[in-house]
Chains A and B, each alone.
Chain A
Amino acid sequence: MALLSCQGIKKHYRHKHALDGLNLEVKAGEAVGLLGINGAGKSTTIKTLLGLVRKTAGHISLDESQVGFLPELARMPEHITPRSFVALALRIRGRGTSEADAALAETGLGEEHMSRHIRLLSKGLRQRVALAYALAGSPRLIVLDEPMSGLDAIGRIAALELLKKRKAAGAGILICSHIVPDLVRLTDQVLLIHQGVVKQIFPITSHDMDEVVMLEQALRHWSSQ
């Protein structure tokens, strides 16, 4: 069952075609990766799908009841504790706030950081809080824009394991990342976006280095176009 699907999505700014007829589908228990160079249209795709940016044309079908979203971070709320922040996500998803600590612990945030203001946390810890916000309450569709940004190696591995677990539990994942090995480890297919168009679709089957190399070569090819 498709949790998210879109056909012919276009987004035109005054002097630029950010998206030009994009098609995409994310089913339950499936992870789809978006890959592309800077300015290819990956973040715009995500923002358009979630209604943060208004589409110029096309059709989007989204199960709005349970969506977890981790935006590419510019800032985090500073004057609130991670516990209260994640509790908001749980309330929005109709869950009890008592799950907040468990959601934060799942991303590797220590108990001692849960009741400190977010402004006092390091970049990596903030990213864990943001990830906990997106995953709290086990949403059916998880949309992630550069989720590994600022995480250390251990944090990255833990985050990937957590996402794999969610996928295995039936959640659909749409992830946008510059880190090709992460996409290969997690996803079932990767969409290579260039100039707002899906240029190639790569099914990921073996999740090994060969697929990493193949994706990197394709990325290099399209970036030189």
Chain B
Amino acid sequence: MMHIKNLALYSFRELMGMLVVRITLAVAVLLPLAAWIFSQFFLMELTKVQLDVMTAGSYLLGMVLILIAVVPMLGADIGGRLCYFYLMPPVSRSEYMLGRFIGAALLLLLLFAVLLAGSEALIAMALEHAPADRRYGISWETGLIIAGTACYQSITLLAAVFFIAAWATGFAELLLFSIAACALFWIMPPVLEAMKNPFLMVGVPTWIVSLVHGIAWLLPEMNAGQFILAALHGQATDYTMLLLHFLGHAGYALMMLMACLLMFARRDL
């Protein structure tokens, strides 16, 4: 446990040392201002526009941080053989991977804490200035749902990137497959969901139907849009569904991480 903690703090410090990470965090700090400026081009529902920008920004910045900071760090570890330093006995391969993962996850948590503070600041401003009938049911929970869903979905993506790092041979491979994973997670689930439609599946062989359902089960639903839209439109959040969505992601991340540890333990470095 001690080695995991040491490596996690070290990884967090190493990531914070990257200029690109500091720029991303600065963008996250400035995002509410950008959202406010952008909303001034609209005539109504300004808060919704601002929170839409915060939503898009949260998802984008999480993904950017993983692809431009975590992937190069892991790429250097594996491809540049930097992991030899960290895997020095008595540090085990699992401790190394978990330490790196937790360090990167801490950075994501910091990013989403900044974004949450930004969203809440916009919401507080709106609640203070907007008359009661123009608040559209937006409350402090809206900001929490935006940052929270973006956070756990980014951590799922992070786990997938670590799974890829467990078998990738270098930076180029890791980056390529990580981008592919992003695309797969974002594009495939809605397509598969549409394909699962019984009307569409009429006459299709059973094994193909099972295959589609199997792949749909394998890929996590990366879009928490239904919860964010509901929150932005003042509808009551279905917390049971939100919890299930979160648990699905937690399970997926855990599965990826376990597979990562198993594969990494067996490979030559």
Contact = CB atoms under 8 A, between A and B. Distances in A.
Interface of A: 47, 50-54, 62, 64-65, 67-69, 71, 74-81, 84, 88-89, 91-92, 117, 130, 133
B76 A65 contact: no
A64 B13 contact: no
Nearest to A145: B84
A80 B3 contact: no
B94 to A, nearest CB: 12
A137 B266 CA distance: 30
Contact of B89 (A47, A64, A130): A64
A51 B89 contact: yes
Nearest to B266: A54
7 contacts: A51-B87, A53-B269, A67-B88, A67-B89, A68-B88, A74-B80, A92-B90
Interface in B1-48: 2-3, 6-7, 10, 13-15, 17-18
Most chain A CB within 10 A, of B13, B84, B87, B268, is at B84
B79 to A, nearest CB: 8
Given A50-B88, A52-B87, A69-B88, A75 B269 contact: no
Contacts of B76: 75, 77-78
B17 A79 contact: yes
B266 A89 contact: no
B60 interface: no
Contacts of B84: 47, 52, 69, 71
A-B complex: 6 closest residue pairs judged by Cβ atoms:
A75-B80, A79-B17, A71-B84, A64-B89, A67-B89, A91-B6
Interface in B153-179: none
Nearest to A68: B88
A88 B90 contact: no
Contacts of A65: 89-90
B interface, how many residues as a size bin? 20 to 34
Interface of B: 2-3, 6-7, 10, 13-15, 17-18, 76, 80-82, 84-91, 266-269
Nearest to B5: A91
A222 to B, nearest CB: 26
A52 B264 CA distance: 11
Contacts of A68: 88
A3 to B, nearest CB: 11
Contact of B268 (A50, A53, A89): A53
B10 A84 contact: yes
A76 B15 CA distance: 14
Contacts of A53: 268-269
Nearest to B69: A79
Nearest to A118: B17
A86 to B, nearest CB: 11
B90 A71 contact: no
Contacts of A50: 87-89
B89 A62 contact: yes
Contacts of A69: 84-85, 88-89
A99 B2 CA distance: 19
Nearest to B84: A71
B174 to A, nearest CB: 15
A91 to B, nearest CB: 4
Given A74-B80, A76-B82, A88-B7, 19 more contacts: A51-B89, A52-B84, A52-B269, A53-B268, A53-B269, A54-B266, A54-B268, A67-B89, A69-B88, A71-B81, A75-B80, A77-B76, A84-B10, A84-B13, A84-B14, A89-B88, A92-B3, A92-B6, A92-B90
A62 B89 CA distance: 9
A61 to B, nearest CB: 12
Contacts of B13: 80, 84
A47 B80 CA distance: 15
Given A52-B87, A84-B13, A88-B10, A77 B82 contact: yes
A77 B10 CA distance: 11
A49 to B, nearest CB: 10
Contact of B81 (A67, A74, A81): A74
